[in-house]
Amino acid sequence: MMPPEDSSQPRLAAGCRWGAESKPGTEERVVLFPEGAIKLQGTGRQVLERCDGQRTFGEIIKELQAQFRVADPAKIRSDISQFLEQLRHKRIVDY
């Protein structure tokens, strides 16, 4: 599979949706998919929340590079690309 291009518009794949896992005092977001669920926290959650089918991969990268200014911009791009490719391989994300 090819990594996302800047013009790609990542989104949850068909059959996947956001859900919530409630625990006393907190509510964590999970992605539900036909084979199970993935609990996302931190940066992974921030990335996937931006994968709305409207934003492009390039826009998502720019937003996160601005948010995490102290991190190497090339590493941010590489890490997010790899993260999305893993989710695409599991048929959770499409673009």
Say whether pLDDT at 84 is over 80. Answer: yes
- What residues have CB less than 8 Å from 62, skipping those under 6 apart? none
pLDDT tens-digit map of 2-54 = 889 999 999 999 999 999 876 666 667 899 999 899 998 889 999 999 999 99
What domains does the chain contain, in order, with CATH numbers? 11-94 (1.10.10.1150)
Q: How far is CA 67 from CA 10, 25, 63, 86, in A?
A: 19, 27, 6, 23
Model pLDDT, residue 56: 98
Model pLDDT, residue 81: 97
pLDDT tens-digit map of 46-77 = 999 999 999 999 999 999 999 999 999 999 99
